[in-house]
Amino acid sequence: QLSIELKQNLKNTMTQKYQQEGEESVTSAVDKLQQEFKCCGSNNYTDWADSLWIRSQEASGRKVPDSCCKTITDLCGRRDHPSNIYKENGCITKLENFIQEHLKIIGAVGISIACVQIFGMIFTCCLYKSLKQEPY
């Protein structure tokens, strides 16, 4: 269920909000996502064909954003050849893997903190018991 929601929301964000007025933070986040994870589009590079920006004059004939390019140059998104863009991978799979890997770390830290707290409670109980038995 979460995977389906994530896929739909990511694709919708990329196609509807990328390079739109007032959505500069979305554009920056999508560009960073595509460059950091070496991916293009939500499922793959063809997702960009539905983009409002790609279909507009502002895209200057690009087929994908320049952030999909392996080496970013101005207007490199006009050429969607595999040697030029991250054609084989969509960002959704890589994003899901990233989240899953980091959830394990967060879980491990949480369990560690819980163990320290339990140890502290046991120590406190022992200390309380020993103080209660000894008169002042």
**What does pLDDT average to in each consecutive run of 10 residues of the chain (136 residues)?**
79 94 95 95 93 94 94 90 85 88 91 98 94 75
Domain range for 48 is 2-93
With CA atoms as reference, report the closest residue to 45 among 34, 57, 56: 34
Q: Count of domains in the chain?
A: 1
Instruction: Please report whether residue 59 resides in a domain.
Output: yes
Instruction: Please report whether residue 41 resides in a domain.
Output: yes
With CA atoms as reference, report the closest residue to 41 among 101, 90, 106, 104: 90
Contact 27, 21 (CB under 8 A): no
Question: What pLDDT, on the 0 to 100 scale, is given for residue 12?
Answer: 93
Instruction: Please report whether residue 11 resides in a domain.
Output: yes
Instruction: Please report whether residue 27 resides in a domain.
Output: yes
Question: What pLDDT, on the 0 to 100 scale, is given for residue 1?
Answer: 60
CATH number of the domain within which 70 lies: 1.10.1450.10
Angular region, 78: left φ>0, alpha ψ -120 to 50, beta rest: alpha
Question: What pLDDT, on the 0 to 100 scale, is given for residue 136?
Answer: 62
Instruction: Please report whether residue 136 resides in a domain.
Output: no
Question: What pLDDT, on the 0 to 100 scale, is given for residue 2?
Answer: 65
Taking the C-alpha atoms of residue 67 and residue 76, their distance in angstroms, rounded to an integer, is 9
Question: What pLDDT, on the 0 to 100 scale, is given for residue 133?
Answer: 79
Contact 45, 80 (CB under 8 A): yes
Question: What pLDDT, on the 0 to 100 scale, is given for residue 80?
Answer: 81
Instruction: Please report whether residue 113 resides in a domain.
Output: no
Instruction: Please report whether residue 12 resides in a domain.
Output: yes
Instruction: Please report whether residue 118 resides in a domain.
Output: no
